């Protein structure tokens, strides 16, 4: 079969003039979801529905991982409550000791000596307060790191999968459009279909599709070209 396919010259079937008559195919007008430069979705409903469903599944997984990351953040961040209690206790103790020290410090003659241990206790309270604040900062940082780390990797993998899938489709559709704009015509598209499509699929178009292509049968070539374009998500107009 490869030997027979290598016989045409310049992409035209040996039939001659019929192929050139069919050399200016057009595609259906771009839908709102398909920009002229980049084609994101197929022109065919079932395939487009599958593409939209895949997009929604990806968005759902991304939302789920975001929710999971936020949940992990809040669960770990609740451990900071111990640090908050420590900070509050240290602040209260420091304030109380400082107040007692100031009160006793006003006692005549012995006030200065009595105040020293209370000032030391107040400093210990401030140290406890600082330790509580440091513990909160460490817990907040740990919660943020784990929350983001757990969510980012799966989301990144989902985005890579989605972008690769969409990029392959857009690239294939872009190449098919380029063939049309370059004046390749139905004959070359039909030849690509004869090369790429399954034999059973080609047989449904015409039992002797190769012979029809060689004869330049425009009807058969249009059907074959439509098959090739359909694989790229492009509908042949007319």
Domain boundaries, the chain: 1-24+183-238, 40-171
Per-residue pLDDT tens for 117-156?
776 777 777 888 788 888 888 989 999 999 999 999 999 9
- pTM to 2 decimals? 0.64
Per-residue pLDDT tens for 145-188?
999 999 999 999 999 999 998 888 888 888 777 776 665 567 77
Could you give the dihedral angle defined by the CA atoms of residues 200, 168, 162 and 55, in that order, rounded to the nearest 10 degrees? -60
pLDDT on residue 19? 43
Q: Which residues of 129-157 are buried (b: 16+ CB within 10 A; e: fewer)?
A: beebbebbeebbeebeebbeebbeebbee
Q: Which of 74-83, 94-103, 138-147 has the highest mean pLDDT?
A: 138-147
Handedness of CA 136, 138, 144, 147 (dihedral sign): negative
């Amino acid at each position: 079969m490869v030997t027979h396919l290598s016989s045409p010259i310049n992409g035209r079937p040996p039939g001659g003039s019929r192929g050139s008559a069919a050399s200016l195919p057009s595609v259906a007008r771009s839908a709102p979801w398909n920009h002229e430069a980049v084609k994101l979705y197929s022109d065919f409903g079932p395939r487009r529905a599958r593409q939209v469903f895949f997009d929604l599944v990806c968005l759902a997984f991304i939302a789920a991982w975001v929710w999971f990351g936020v949940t992990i953040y809040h669960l770990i961040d609740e451990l900071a409550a111990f640090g908050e209690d420590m900070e509050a206790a240290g602040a209260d103790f420091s304030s109380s000791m400082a107040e007692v020290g100031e009160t006793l410090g006003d006692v005549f003659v012995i006030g200065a000596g009595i105040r020293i241990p209370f000032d030391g206790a107040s400093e210990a309270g401030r140290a406890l307060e600082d330790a509580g604040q440091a513990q909160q900062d460490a817990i907040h940082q740990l919660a943020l790191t784990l929350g983001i780390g757990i969510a980012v990797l799966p989301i990144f993998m989902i985005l890579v999968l989605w972008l690769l899938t969409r990029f392959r489709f857009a690239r294939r559709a872009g190449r098919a459009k380029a063939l049309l704009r370059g004046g390749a015509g139905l004959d070359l598209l039909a030849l690509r279909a004869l090369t790429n499509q399954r034999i059973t699929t080609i047989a449904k178009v015409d039992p002797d599709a190769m012979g029809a292509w060689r004869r330049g049968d425009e009807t058969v070539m249009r059907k074959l070209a439509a098959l090739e374009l359909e694989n790229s998500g492009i509908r042949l107009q007319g």
